[in-house]
Amino acid sequence: MQPIERLGAFYLGREVDPETRDRSDAAVMYDARDLTTHGVCVGMTGSGKTGLCVGLLEEAALDGVPALIIDPKGDIANLLLTFPELRPEDFAPWINPDDARRKGMDIPAYAKKTADTWRAGLAEWGQDGERIRRLRGSADFRVYTPGSDAGVPVSILSSLRAPRQGWEGNEEGLREQIRGTVSALLGLAGVEADPLRSPEHILLANIFEHAWRQGRDLDLAALITSIQNPPVRKLGVFDVDTFYPAKDRFGLAMALNNIMASPGFAPWLQGDPLDIAALLQAPDGRPRHAIFSIAHLDDQQRMFFVTLLLEQTVAWVRRQSGTTSLRALLYMDEVFGFLPPSANPPSKAPMLTLLKQARAAGLGVVLTTQNPVDLDYKALSNTGTWFIGKLQTEQDKARILDGLESASGGVDRGTISDLIGDLGQRVFLLHNVHESAPLLFQTRWAMSYLRGPLTRDQIRTLKPVEADGATPAPAAGAPTVAATTAEIAEIAAADTADALPEGYQRTPPALPPTLPQAYLPVALSDADGVTALADREGRALTDAAAALVYEPRLVALGRVGFVDRRRGVDDERAIGLLLDPESVGTIVRWDDGEPIDLDANALEPAAGGEAVFAPVPGTLDKTKKIKAANKDFRDHLYQSQTLEIFHIPELKLYGEAGESEAEFLGRARLAAREKRDAEVDKLRRKVQRALDRLEKKLAREERELEEDKADYSARKREELLSAGETLIGMLGVFGGRKRTSGLSSAARKRRMTSNAKMDIAESEEEIAVLREEIEAVQAQFEEDAEAIAEKWDALLDAPGTHAVKPRRTDVRVDVVALAWTPVWEIGHTSAGGRRTGGRVEAWRQVSG
Ligand SMILES: Nc1ncnc2c1ncn2[C@@H]1O[C@H](COP(=O)(O)OP(=O)(O)OP(=O)(O)O)[C@@H](O)[C@H]1O
Ligand SMILES: [Mg+2]
């Protein structure tokens, strides 16, 4: 049998002779790169499409290629049923009891039979448990169940978030994404809307665009409120209310609200975000096969999810660099209804875009369907790979031939028609535009146990155990509780200046006019403050009275730019610190500062309403001191700030600012793959030259052997002849003439014969040596190629980082000033009837 492990090649099965339909030994090793021009797989139910594609996905996983897998029937979760030991007890929990019953067996017996079948099937195709073990280790297989927590749920909220690449310069792609997302949302609400004409669609798209332009994320609540109160007042030349009256808008808002507020919708908002880079990569760095099982959803929900997933994939594709290697796969097990020839469901537009644009990014799209009429062949023009299996009717055959012809062009209809006539189960025609001719093959045995669709409960038991059981850390920015003084708390009750504690006053203290001062904005109303305190104390407050007190602190806001043109870094980071007066001594202890997320523009020049001011300590009341702190802050920023980006020197690859490790590793994997492919190709060419030389020599030796053999038989004949002559001579048959030479000539002939025989032996030996040499060269090549792959792979294990330091000129201080920070001091009566108090910082948003 031919070897089945070859780098960058997928072992799909073995060739089938077109005449005899017998299976041969020739392995079908499909070049992974060919998949970047996408593939379609068509065949009637039971023809073996899913088996073929599961095999293809297994090969991709073995080769480190991640995949997004849309699984409308629930079959592909079988990729998680891989048992290296192939024990009956591994299979038993997954056995379909009906199957066992039909065979008149109990479950253990049927599990044993199934385990035996699988072991034998694998062996027949040159595979074993060891290969399964490698498969399991090579990728993270995970079943996602959108809208359900049976598997890992998927949160769709990220599809509403503002694009992180910004609006400017990306308008076209983003408008397309908005169109798809809006169509998906409306579809879910049962609204059939034309993107160009219907008011629902136009309004929603405008709401998205308005938010995204400003870099503002949307969520469902914001979306629904915006429908009733649109942030844009004009749509085209019309006023919103004329174009789409408020009464009708209310109807749409209700329709969306009814779906999204229903308890059944909650799982759509939980789980892993629909973030393609993160989906394609497990946290431990392995590529992931993300299986989206959508069998449990109704048609509208499926369309909704598939459209969102495709839209996100398009957006991801646009962010990727170009490549000719296979970066990732998108596989859809049954495309019926999602890419129809004569209708326009929301999924179609992003699918068409992917078929056109994914290639450049190295994303291969593979689509499967039972029925040749389900596909829009115009969309499939330029599809490089076609797998055609057993078809039900002559009509189906004719249709697929039409499709293939219109999509691929230049196909020999007669030949292909003959080939696809009468195909057996698991036998497919492979038409690959990168190869010279079509071929027939039978799919290899799948390593995964193809038990058929898994139920939701079964998927639940497959769920990967989350290692993360930690309680969430308290959210930053939660109100801090400070010691209260009943004295200050009572300020609210007191109206006269003399009731204020020592140093407190009702007007801002007199400070030098040159001293920079700023007011932090008041984010909580007095009522909010009381509620926050009540929440904290866990009871309603009696006779609550709140007073706004401003306390002096030091605020420092600045920005640091990180620019490194060579590494493509151009990023800016805003830094804000708030310091207590005690931290501002002869030196400022910046490290004790509290990080705050505040824009300099949000600072206010005066108090936000009637307030009391706390006394200013000596560390904060001198202009010189604050000016010095300003300079000091600049030095602090320069020294303390670095931007860490991922870096793998061997790949000359740097991360981007803000890029997740998953995204970086995704790019790194591709870069490593490209290097590997190039290096292996080079080695292969070199080895091929050596092999060519050896093969030529071998051919020569074989020719010589033939000649030697011919020579030998000629000599043998001659020897016999001359032996006969000698005998005749000796007997003096021909008239007593003495033939003295007879004997010696016969001996000479015998000697020549034995020489010829030796030549044969020599040639044979030479040939054996050459054959061995060829095998050794091939084996060495496999080994070297493996080592090359390992070398590049190992780089992904622990990506290093590179620190970008700011240039001095890229450090900017926006503000260093005395900061008046507002606090609600709240007095109330305790359960025991005593007057007591608490404080709530009024400049912080209470996080929800
Ligand atoms: N590569 C394979 N290895 C082992 N068994 C296979 C393989 N391919 C197919 N089979 C067997 O054949 C059955 C039918 O094949 P498969 O599910 O792949 O058909 P299909 O073309 O996907 O059908 P449908 O259109 O109904 O989904 C499988 O359940 C499995 O038992
Ligand atoms: Mg199938």
pLDDT tens per residue, range 642-692: 998 999 999 999 988 778 888 898 889 899 999 999 999 999 999 999 999
Tell me how far the alpha carbon of residue 46 lies from the centroid of ligand 2, in angstroms. Answer: 7
> Among 129-133, 274-278, 583-587, whose mean pLDDT is lowest?
583-587
Distance (Å, whole) CA 59 – CA 9: 8
| CA 79 vs CA 13, 87, 181: distances in Å | 18, 17, 30
Backbone angles phi, psi at 518, to 5 degrees: -150, 155
pLDDT in tens, 241-291: 999 999 899 989 988 888 877 778 888 888 899 999 999 988 877 899 999
Q: Is the CB of 368 under 6 A from ligand 1?
A: no
Tell me how far the alpha carbon of residue 296 lies from the centroid of ligand 2, in angstroms. Answer: 16
Q: Is the CB of 47 under 6 A from ligand 1?
A: yes
Nearest protein CA to atom 18 of ligand 1, as residue = 48
Q: List the Cα angle 12/17/19 in 5-degree steps.
A: 150
Tell me how far the alpha carbon of residue 677 lies from the centroid of ligand 1, in angstroms. Answer: 32
Selection from 210, 199, 208 nearest residue 242 by Cα: 199
What's the whole-number mean pLDDT along residues 237-242? 90
Tell me how far the alpha carbon of residue 798 lies from the centroid of ligand 2, in angstroms. Answer: 38
Q: Which of ligand 1's atoms lies nearest the C-alpha of 43?
A: 21
Distance from the Cα of residue 783 to its chain's centroid: 30
- Assigned token pair, 236: 């085209």
pLDDT over 90 (residue 606): no
Percent of the chain with pLDDT over 70: 93
What's the whole-number mean pLDDT along residues 188-216? 91
- Assigned token pair, 714: 């000629």
pTM higher than the cut 0.75:
no
Tell me how far the alpha carbon of residue 6 lies from the centroid of ligand 1, in angstroms. Answer: 25
Q: Is the CB of 45 under 6 A from ligand 1?
A: yes
What's the whole-number mean pLDDT along residues 405-423? 86
pLDDT in tens, 459-499: 888 844 333 333 222 223 322 223 344 455 555 455 555 56
Nearest protein CA to atom 3 of ligand 1, as residue = 445
pLDDT at residue 742, as a whole number: 52
- E-only strand ranges, 521-678: 542-564, 569-579, 594-595, 612-613, 643-648, 653-654
Q: Is the CB of 55 under 6 A from ligand 1?
A: yes
pLDDT over 80 (residue 314): yes
Q: Which of ligand 1's atoms lies nearest the C-alpha of 48?
A: 18
What's the whole-number mean pLDDT along residues 218-230? 88
The confidence band for 98, taking pLDDT boundaries of 50, 70 and 90, is confident
Three-class HEC string of 254-276:
HHHHHHHCCHHHHHHHCCEECCH
Only one residue has tokens 């007669």, namely 414
pLDDT at residue 59, as a whole number: 97
Indicate which ligand has the atom closest to the C-alpha of 427: 1
Q: Is the CB of 452 under 6 A from ligand 1?
A: yes
| CA 599 vs CA 573, 596, 790: distances in Å | 12, 9, 49
Tell me how far the alpha carbon of residue 340 lies from the centroid of ligand 2, in angstroms. Answer: 18
pLDDT over 70 (residue 567): yes
pLDDT over 80 (residue 156): yes
Tell me how far the alpha carbon of residue 45 lies from the centroid of ligand 1, in angstroms. Answer: 8
Distance (Å, whole) CA 404 – CA 767: 47
Q: Is the CB of 51 under 6 A from ligand 1?
A: yes
Selection from 152, 185, 454 nearest residue 305 by Cα: 185
The confidence band for 431, taking pLDDT boundaries of 50, 70 and 90, is very high
Best mean pLDDT range from 246-260, 313-327, 439-453, 508-522: 439-453
pLDDT at residue 30, as a whole number: 96
Q: Is the CB of 127 under 6 A from ligand 1?
A: no
Tell me how far the alpha carbon of residue 834 lies from the centroid of ligand 1, in angstroms. Answer: 78
Mean per-residue pLDDT over the chain, rounded: 87
More confident residue, 703 or 190: 703
Q: Which of ligand 1's atoms lies nearest the C-alpha of 445?
A: 3
Angle between helices 741-794 and 661-731 (to 10 degrees): 180
pLDDT at residue 733, as a whole number: 57
* 8 A C-beta contact, residue 259 and residue 188: yes
pLDDT over 80 (residue 183): yes
Selection from 4, 41, 37 nearest residue 429 by Cα: 41
Three-class HEC string of 500-513:
CCCCCECCCCCCCC
Q: Is the CB of 383 under 6 A from ligand 1?
A: no
Residue 542 CB neighbours (<10 A)? 10
* 8 A C-beta contact, residue 64 and residue 793: yes
pLDDT at residue 847, as a whole number: 53
pLDDT at residue 566, as a whole number: 84
The confidence band for 582, taking pLDDT boundaries of 50, 70 and 90, is confident
* 8 A C-beta contact, residue 132 and residue 84: yes
Q: Is the CB of 49 under 6 A from ligand 1?
A: yes
Distance (Å, whole) CA 179 – CA 311: 9
Selection from 539, 601, 581 nearest residue 818 by Cα: 581
- E-only strand ranges, 147-227: 154-155
Q: Is the CB of 50 under 6 A from ligand 1?
A: yes
Q: Is the CB of 43 under 6 A from ligand 1?
A: yes
Selection from 108, 42, 740 nearest residue 391 by Cα: 42
Indicate which ligand has the atom closest to the C-alpha of 332: 2
pLDDT in tens, 767-790: 999 999 999 999 999 999 999 999
pLDDT over 50 (residue 602): yes
pLDDT over 90 (residue 87): yes
Cα end-to-end distance, the chain, whole Å: 64
Tell me how far the alpha carbon of residue 386 lies from the centroid of ligand 2, in angstroms. Answer: 16
Q: Which of ligand 1's atoms lies nearest the C-alpha of 389?
A: 21
Tell me how far the alpha carbon of residue 336 lies from the centroid of ligand 2, in angstroms. Answer: 12
> Among 298-312, 443-457, 466-480, 662-676, whose mean pLDDT is lowest?
466-480
pLDDT over 90 (residue 22): yes
Nearest protein CA to atom 14 of ligand 1, as residue = 46
pLDDT over 60 (residue 740): no
Nearest protein CA to atom 8 of ligand 1, as residue = 51
Distance (Å, whole) CA 844 – CA 278: 32
What's the whole-number mean pLDDT along residues 43-54? 96
Distance (Å, whole) CA 86 – CA 119: 7
pLDDT over 80 (residue 408): no
Distance (Å, whole) CA 226 – CA 783: 62
Q: Is the CB of 124 under 6 A from ligand 1?
A: no
* Phi/psi-derived region of residue 38, left when phi > 0, alpha when psi is between -120 and 50, beta in every other case: left
pLDDT in tens, 323-372: 889 999 999 999 999 999 989 999 999 999 999 999 999 999 999 999 99
pLDDT in tens, 371-394: 999 899 989 988 999 999 999 999
What's the whole-number mean pLDDT along residues 798-804? 88
Which of 114, 426, 449 is the pocket-test mutation for ligand 1 (most atoms within 8 Å of CB)? 426
